[in-house]
Amino acid sequence: MRSQNEIGNSRTTKAPAAAAPAVSRRSVLKGSTAAMGAAATFAAMGTNFAWAQVSEEIKVGLIGCGGRGSGAAVNIMEAAGIVKQGVKIHACADAFASQTKRIQDKYKIEAKNVFAGLDAYKELVASDIELVIMATPPGFRPIHFAAAIDAGKHVFFEKPVASDIWGVREVIAAGKRAQEKKLAAVTGTQRRHQTNYNQAIEQIHAGAIGDVTHMSVYWNGQDIWFRQPEPGMTAMEEQVHNWYHHIWLSGDQICEQHIHNLDIANWVMNGHPISALGLGGRQVRDAMGQKPGEIWDHFGIEYEYANGARVLSQCRHWPKSDSNVSEYAIGSKGTFSGNDGTTSLTIGGKKQTFKSERSGYVQEHVDMINSIKAGKPLNEAQRVAESTLTAIIGRTSAYTGKKVMWDWAMNESKQRLVPENISKDAEPPKVVVPQPGVTPLV
Ligand SMILES: NC(=O)c1ccc[n+]([C@@H]2O[C@H](COP(=O)([O-])OP(=O)(O)OC[C@H]3O[C@@H](n4cnc5c(N)ncnc54)[C@H](O)[C@@H]3O)[C@@H](O)[C@H]2O)c1
C-alpha cells in the first residue's frame, strides 16, 4: 500500500490533549492548574480514555470516498452546524486514487492526509484524526472498524458491518473494546435516530398494540448498478470496483440493503431471531448481463423469535416490478406501519401518524457528536452486528436450503468469506453462484 502522494507518513499520533467532560481542551491548553491536574489524571488512566475526548474542531477521516462516504461527510458537517461543534474533514482514504480526488478538492485536504490503495485505511487510522467515517463495501468493515478502535478513534460506520459470520464476531469484539475505551461506535442505521420510528416503537414497547405476533418487512427494489472493469485493474480490483455483485464484499442484497428493515424487526421485537428458514434465487441477473457476479436477486425468509412470533422478510432486485421498502407489525391490540418518512400505529380503528423531524442521515451525526461531547459516547456495535447476523443467517439458509439457528451461527459456524490476503495482486474469491443442495452449511 502506498499513499496517493508517496508521502513518508512519519506523522505521530496526536497527544492526548483533552480532559474530563467538565474541563475543556482550551482550558488544558491554557495551562490552568485544575485542568493540568485533570489531564494528568486522565493520562494516568491510559491514553485511550483521553482519546474519547475531542478537540474544538473534530478532525474527521473518511474511508471510502464513494456515494455514501461523500454524503456522510456532508451530513456530519450539517450536524456540526446544528450542535455548534467544529468539525473538519481532515483526511481521506480510498482503494482508488481517482475516488479521493473529489473529496480532497472539496474539503481542501492536505496531500499528506490523502491515502489510496486497499490498505490505505492503515495510514488513515494512524494519522492525527479523531473520528473515522467508514463507507467502503461492507466486507472490509470488520477489519477497518477494529483498526480504528485499536488506534483510539471514534467511529461512524455504515451498515451492514460485515458480510460474513467471522466479521460479525470481529465487530462485536471490537465494539466491546470501544466501550472500554469510551469511543463512539455509531452506525448508518439512520431509522434508529428518526423521530417517526422512535416515537412509534417507544409506544409499541409500552404495550400500545399489545403482544406483537407477526411482522412483514420488505426491501423490494428495481435494480442495482453494475460496474464494468476499467483498464489496468487487477482481478481483485475488478471485484472491489464492482463490489455489490460479490458476496464477500456486499453480503448480497439481504445484507446490504434489507438490513435496514431487519433492524426495525429486531427493534420492535426487542431482540434478535432464534432461527431463519429461507429461499431465493438468481432469476433475472444473468438476463440483464450482470456477469461476472454471484449474488442472487430475491430472498424470502421466515424468522422465528424467542416468543414464537414470526417475521416474514422479502427483498428483491427485479426491474419493472412493484417497489416496497417498509415494515408492518400485527399486535394483539393494533398494528404498526413504517417506512423511511412516516410511521403509524392503528389501534381500535384510530390511526396515529409520526413524521421524521430531521433527516436520519444528519440526526445520527448530531446524536453521535452530542454523545461524545457529553462523555457518554454512543455504542451501537453489538446491536448492528446482531442485525447484520440476522440478514446473514437468512441468506445462509436460502443459499444452503437448511434452517439456520442463531446460537449455532454465533458460536459454531466457521463461515468466513472475506479472504485473509486482500492485496491488489492477490487472487480474489472465485465467482460461484450459491446453489441449495450444493452450497455447504459451514
Ligand atoms: N445508510 C444508508 O442508507 C446507506 C446508503 C447507501 C450506502 N450505504 C452503505 O455505504 C457503503 C458504501 O456504499 P456506496 O453506495 O457509497 O458505495 P460506492 O461504491 O459509491 O463507494 C464505496 C467506496 O469505497 C471504496 N473502497 C472499496 N474498497 C475500499 C477499501 N478497502 N479501502 C478504502 N476504500 C475502499 C470504493 O473505491 C468506493 O469509492 C455500503 O456499505 C452501503 O451499504 C448506506
Residue 341 has a pLDDT of: 87
Any ligand 1 atom below 6 A from CB of 281? no
Please state whether 329 falls in left (phi above 0), alpha (psi between -120 and 50) or beta: beta
Give the per-residue pLDDT at 28: 26
pLDDT digits (tens, 9 = 90+) for 64-96: 999 999 999 999 999 999 999 999 999 999 999
Domain spans in the chain, listed from the N-terminal domain onward: 2-191, 198-358+382-411
Report pLDDT digits (tens) over 182-241.
999 999 999 999 999 999 999 999 999 999 999 999 999 999 999 999 999 999 999 999
Residue 379's φ and ψ, nearest 5 degrees, are: -135, 105
pLDDT tens figures, 110-159: 999 999 999 999 999 999 999 999 999 999 999 999 999 999 999 999 99
* Per-residue confidence (pLDDT) for residue 147, from 0 to 100: 98
Q: Which of 128, 135, 133, 178 is nearest to 156 (CA)?
A: 133
158 in contact with ligand 1, CB cutoff 6 A: yes
Mutate to test the pocket of ligand 1, among 4, 62, 68 (most ligand atoms within 8 A of CB): 68
- C-alpha 75 – ligand 1 centre gap (Å): 15
Q: Which amino acid is at 167?
A: G
Q: Is the CB of 253 under 6 A from ligand 1?
A: no
Give the residue, 37 or 50, on which the prediction is more confident. Answer: 50
| 3-class DSSP state of 5 | coil
Q: Which fold has domain 198-358+382-411?
A: Dihydrodipicolinate Reductase; domain 2 (3.30.360)
**Contact residues for 21 (Cβ-Cβ < 8 A; gap 6+):** 53, 373, 374, 375
Does the model's pTM come out above 0.95?
Answer: no
Residue-wise pLDDT tens digits, 276-329: 999 999 999 999 999 999 999 999 999 999 999 999 999 999 999 999 999 999
Question: How confident is the model at residue 19, as a pLDDT?
Answer: 27
Q: What is the CATH code for 2-191?
A: 3.40.50.720
CA of 135 to the centre of ligand 1 (A): 4
Atom of ligand 1 nearest to the CA of 68: 16
Report the pLDDT value the prediction gives residue 52, as an integer from 0 to 100. 56
Gap from CA of 106 to ligand 1 centroid (Å): 18
Ligand 1 atom closest to Cα of residue 190:
1
What's the pLDDT tens digit per position in 397-421? Answer: 999 999 999 999 999 999 999 999 9
